[in-house]
Structures are given as C-alpha cells and as structure tokens.
A and B are shown apart, each in its own frame.
Chain A
Amino acid sequence: MKLHTKTNIYTIIATLLLFSFGIFIVYQLILSRLDREVDKQLLIVKSNVIKELDEVAAPNKLFSNQGYSFYIKKIPTQTIFDNQFIEYSEKNPNTRDINHETIKRSLRFQTTPKKQSYDVTISVSLTERNRIGDYIALVVIVFLLISIFVLFIVNRLISTFIWSPFYDTLSKIKTWNIKKNEHLVFKPTNIDEFHLLNDTVKDLTQQIQADYHNLKEFTENVSHEAQTPLSIISSKLELLMQETNYNEKQHKLLGQTYHATKRLYKLNEGLILLTRIENKQFAEIHSINLALAIEEKIEVLEDFIEAKTIKIEKILNTQTVKEVNSVLLTILLNNLLINAIKYNLEKEGLIKITLDEDFFSIENTSFQDKIDKQMLFNRFNKNSISGSLGLGLSLIKKIVDFYNWQITYTYKEGIHKFKIYM
C-alpha cells in the first residue's frame, strides 16, 4: 500500500467519525432549540386560552385554529398547578397507512378562572419542526461528503507534492548500480528529514562504492602481481627438474610442487579473466555462427569425449548468428562442454546439445547428483571429485550476465541441463 493512500485512509476515517459525532450533536441542539420555541408558542396560546375562559362560559372548541388543537374539560377542583409538556405520537386518521404517525407536542394545565376549574390540553404537530431538523441534517451530511471528497483530493495532491523528493530518492537508489561508478544526485528539497535522508544515502553509497572499488582493485592487483612470481616459480621448478640424480622421493615432491603451482596459476588466470569481463575489456564483437563455433569446440575436445566413450547428440540450427566477442564465446562454450565431459559418466555417457534462434542448451549424464542451485554459480564452489576450483560456472555466469542473457539449471532423472536464453 502506498504511503499517501494509507495516510488518506486514516485521515478520512478520523474525519468521518468526528463529523458524524458533530452532526449528531448539532442535530440534537437544533431540535431542543426548536422544542423550546414550540413550548414558548404553547405558553402564549395558554395565556390566550386563560383570557378567553375568563370571558366565555363554555368555550369548547372555540379555539380550534392556528394549527393548534384543544381539549378542554371541566373538573371539580384544580389538582395540577404547573405546566406539563408532553411529546407523543398520534395515528393520523386521514391516511390509511397504519404506520403513519404524527408527532405532537402538548401542554396540559389546569386553571380556575371563576370558581369553575378546567383541565386544558393544547397540542401542536411537530411535523414542521422535524422537517426543519431533517433538512439541516441533510445539508450538513452533504457538506460533510463534499468536504471528505475535497479533503481526499487535497491530501493526495499535497502528499504527492511533499513526498515527491522522497520518491525521487527511492527510485534513484533502486536503479543505483554499485558497479557503475556513478554518484547519486537527488532532487533538492527543503524538508529537513528528506534532506537528512538524501545526505545519509549519499554518504552510504559513496562509502560502499569506495569499499567495493578498493576490494576490486585489491583482487586485481593481487592476481596481477602474483603472475610474475608464479611464472618464476614454475620456470625455476622446470630447471630444477632438468637435474638428474634425483631419487624417487625427490621426484615425487618435485612433481607435486610443480602440479600445485600449475593449479595456482590456473586459478589466478581465472580470477584475472573474471575481473577483465567485469571491467568490460571484451568489448569487440563479431558476428559468429554459433553452430559452427560449437562444432569447432567439440572437435577440439574430441580426445576427451572419445576417451570416456561419450555419445554426442546435436540439434543445431545452423542459421543462428550472434554478435558476441569471440574470446568470451570460446570461454563460455569451452567451460560448458568441459564441465559436461568432466562430470560425465566414466563409460557411455551422453551429451545433448540443442541450439536455436534464441536459446542454447547442453544436457549431460553425470556421476554427480543434483547441484545445489544456491551454490551453483558461486566462485570456489569446490567440487569433491576433481579437486579443481569451480571458477568455470562462475565464468559462465559472468559471461551470460555480460550479454544480458539468462541461464537456467535443471536436473531430471540423472540429466543435468544448462540452458541459456539469448
């Protein structure tokens, strides 16, 4: 839910509650005010009645006018001395509707003008009063609805306006890429909190970027600087091996040292390659027919394929041409194929290669179980069998990312499948 939607909802709920309460109070106040007005009128009528009773002996139904109705009764003695206001409802005799009732207010009093006592009830219909009350209530409700609507719109406009620097910051952080050496520039704002937020984010990203670059530079420098000493070690070892008169133990030690040095060099080479891809040092592109490239790579690896008696199945669309860097493509195909061969069954394995306009897939049988997807493209996912460090898949992933392609891995019934969507 969006921030200003949420704020708006709360504001509207609060306004609604407040207004409803207000309307109720106002309605009650108006009604009681109107009641007092009616009572005042009734008292005026009362004084008229008393005056009339004084002059006329039998005043029954004499006063039936002005919307008031009277009920006058002779009583032996006066028992009530104050005014009694009563509100009641009366069934309207003019309509057939049973539920239709008229609310009336009446004033009952007793008076004794000349020896004779009277009990008088003056009543008046409250229909008019209620109508005024309802009308006022309606006006207030309409006003309330209009206010809420306007409030909603105004709120929305204000929050969109006020929060706009925030959303700008948010979208900039979202698209920020640590690998691109770009500094965040935010929309200027005069709201203190946003200003603080922007400054903090700016500082943080600069710090992260600096750390990232230091780390990258360190890796680059280490792997670059390691090359020469490694070259020296391996050439020294080679010269050392030229000496004769070694015993078997010395031979073995020498051989193991040499082999380990070679492995270290390979690893270093892989790391340098990864950094070079990251640094976009393979920008040059050529139109390459992928089917031909695949055939070529298979041919180079034929010895290993034959040694393991692997059967190769190919379904290649010979029309597939991509604009790629030939070095990167070679690394990608070699790594995929070498993995498929290296981790294949020792005897009678299968490799199936499919190529079409927009995808390339390689499936192989293997002595390995399903690979953990989380670990799949991590650097140094060490494989238990070969002892070689798993830079291969990491390189594949890096190249796939470099071209904005997608790679998926699936495992089904002993078949490992890597599929690249191009």
Chain B
Amino acid sequence: MKIFVIEDEKSLREDIVEYLSENYYKCDVAANIQIALQKLKDNTYDCALIDIGLPDGSGIEIIEYIKNHNPGMGVIMITAKNALEDKLESLKIGADDYLTKPFHLSELNARIYSLMRRRNFGGKNALSFDGLEIDTSEKKVIANGFGLQLTKKEYDILVYLASNPTHLITKEALAENIWGDKADMATSFDFVYSQIKNLKKKLNEANLKKYIKVVYGLGYKFME
C-alpha cells in the first residue's frame, strides 16, 4: 500500500516514513504544495497524510485537488493547531481523519490502518493472527474459536495494539487513544494498567498469552 506523506518538517517526515515502512507501507514524500500536486498528477496513492501548515500555502488546497481528481484516496489531515474546531472543519473539507501535532506514530499507524480497512473492504474486515481474530466491523473477538467477552475499552486497546504489531505502544499513547486530551490525569495510567491486566487475563484464559507483552516502564507490545 502506498502512502503519500506531505510534511515540510524534514525530521518529522523521516520519522513517519521510518515508522510506516516498518509496517510494510511504501511511502512517497513531498515538502510543499507544488511538489505534492506534481506527484499527485503522476502517481496514485492509497492514502495521503497532509500537513495543513505548508510553506507555500494551506494543505487544504491539496485535499481539494485529491477530492476532485482521485476521490478514492484516503486523506488524513495533520495540523499543528490543537483545537477541536479544526476537526469539524477538516471533515467538512473532505479529510477522512484528523490528527493534531504531536501525535504518536502508533496512533497515526492505527488511523491509517483503520482508514484503509474502511476504504478497501467496505468496512468489513478482520485483523487475523494465529488463533486470534478481531472482526472490526462487528466489533467481535474470536480467540481459538471462542468468542471473547471484552469491555469496550479492552476492545479498543486490543485493536490499537494489534494495529501496531511488534511495535512498542507507550502507556501515554494508549491513554490518549482512549481519552484524548483528558489523558494527563494521574489515574489514567493506572486505568490503562488495569485494563491491560484484565485483557491479558482474558487472553491467557483463551491460551493466547503470547500476544500482549509488557515493556517495563515504557508500555506494551503486541507480539505476532
């Protein structure tokens, strides 16, 4: 799958490409609107990540171009602004999803993953691993042939982790994924911890102990 990363900050662009490449995406990059539009004429991509604040104008221009010329392409908007109002604005413009800086690379990956699933499989898809199947359209988890009863939060955490297999997901990223900007509460990490504990317990009972690994002091990993 090909992802087009339009971001003017070189360092950030490289990080995104590196992280996405590890997840088997092919990436192309552009640092400004001019190059981006040129590349969009010559190539096709499955998804575009567009930073709104570009040196030669607003990324909205690119979104409009994509919506007119290649409506099948997924668009995730990145913005430095930290307000909720931009979210509505971005969806109005035609972006499929929206991220504010700084975002967790794992969060970005999960968003792309979820967007691609919605786009390519009409919302019907499942994350499949050895003995574990997560049906994201039905929001069901099948573990070794049996349905696994998870709470909504446990399910969300599992999907988030499974979207970033073998990657370390920090507890901050998990907390932010669940509660957004309210995640800085002291209790939120404890809460993540207890949710993970319950999730692990349920997976253990289904003999799927191997999937979630705790990385001491940092976060969690979903092992394939």
- Taking beta carbons and an 8 Å cutoff, which residues of A are in contact with B? 224, 227-228, 230-232, 234-236, 238-239, 241-242, 248, 251-252, 254-255, 258-259, 262-263, 265-266, 269, 272-273, 276, 282, 284, 300-301, 303-304, 307-308, 326-327, 330, 334, 338, 341-342, 386, 388
> Which of B181, B182, B190, B218 lies in contact with A251, CB distance below 8 A?
B218
Min distance, Cβ B113 to any Cβ of chain A, angstroms: 16
Min distance, Cβ A342 to any Cβ of chain B, angstroms: 6
**Contacting pair B191 A307 (CB below 8 A):** yes
**Contacting pair A239 B18 (CB below 8 A):** yes
Min distance, Cβ B82 to any Cβ of chain A, angstroms: 5
**Contacting pair B82 A272 (CB below 8 A):** yes
User: What CA separation (Å) do A251 and B220 show in the bound complex?
Assistant: 12
Min distance, Cβ A230 to any Cβ of chain B, angstroms: 6
**Contacting pair B80 A238 (CB below 8 A):** no
- Interface footprint category on B: 35 or more
Q: Which of B34-42, B57-65, B102-110, B120-128 contacts A (4 or more CB under 8 A)?
A: B102-110
List 12 contacting pairs A-B, 8 Å CB cutoff, sorted by A: A231-B12, A231-B101, A235-B12, A238-B173, A239-B105, A241-B168, A251-B217, A254-B217, A255-B218, A258-B218, A327-B85, A342-B187
Min distance, Cβ B16 to any Cβ of chain A, angstroms: 8
A304-B191 CB under 8 A given contacts A258-B172, A266-B184, A338-B182 = yes
Instruction: Given contact pairs A230-B102, A234-B104, A330-B84, enumerate 17 new A-B contacts (beta carbons under 8 Å).
Output: A228-B80, A231-B103, A235-B15, A238-B19, A252-B216, A254-B217, A273-B82, A301-B182, A304-B185, A304-B187, A327-B84, A327-B85, A341-B185, A342-B185, A342-B187, A388-B184, A388-B186
**Contacting pair A241 B218 (CB below 8 A):** yes
The listed residue with most A CB atoms (<10 A of its CB), out of B85, B153, B188, is B85
Name which residue of chain B comes closest to A248, CB basis.
B216
User: What CA separation (Å) do A259 and B186 show in the bound complex?
Assistant: 12
Inter-chain contacts of A307 with B (CB < 8 A)? 187, 190-191
User: What CA separation (Å) do A248 and B218 show in the bound complex?
Assistant: 10
> Which of A230, A254, A282, A326 lies in contact with B218, CB distance below 8 A?
A254
Inter-chain contacts of B22 with A (CB < 8 A)? 242
B140 at the binding interface (Cβ < 8 Å): no
B224 at the binding interface (Cβ < 8 Å): no
The listed residue with most A CB atoms (<10 A of its CB), out of B11, B182, B186, is B182
Name which residue of chain A comes closest to B188, CB basis.
A304
User: What CA separation (Å) do A234 and B85 show in the bound complex?
Assistant: 24
Inter-chain contacts of A308 with B (CB < 8 A)? 187
**Contacting pair A334 B106 (CB below 8 A):** no
B91 at the binding interface (Cβ < 8 Å): no
Name which residue of chain A comes closest to B8, CB basis.
A228
**Contacting pair B172 A262 (CB below 8 A):** yes
A251-B105 CB under 8 A given contacts A232-B12, A341-B185 = no
Min distance, Cβ B190 to any Cβ of chain A, angstroms: 7
User: What CA separation (Å) do A48 and B31 show in the bound complex?
Assistant: 135
Inter-chain contacts of A303 with B (CB < 8 A)? 153, 179, 191
Name which residue of chain B comes closest to A305, CB basis.
B187
5 smallest CB-CB distances across A and B, nearest first, come from: A231-B102, A255-B217, A235-B15, A232-B11, A251-B217
A334-B182 CB under 8 A given contacts A272-B82, A284-B85, A304-B191 = yes
Residues B187-213 near A (CB distance < 8 A): 187-188, 190-191
Inter-chain contacts of B12 with A (CB < 8 A)? 228, 231-232, 235
Name which residue of chain A comes closest to B215, CB basis.
A251
Inter-chain contacts of A235 with B (CB < 8 A)? 12, 15-16, 19, 102, 105
**Contacting pair A276 B83 (CB below 8 A):** yes
Name which residue of chain B comes closest to A270, CB basis.
B82
Residues B149-188 near A (CB distance < 8 A): 153, 167-168, 170, 172-173, 179, 181-182, 184-188
**Contacting pair B19 A258 (CB below 8 A):** no
**Contacting pair A342 B172 (CB below 8 A):** no
Residues B65-109 near A (CB distance < 8 A): 80, 82-85, 101-106
Name which residue of chain B comes closest to A231, CB basis.
B102
Min distance, Cβ A290 to any Cβ of chain B, angstroms: 17
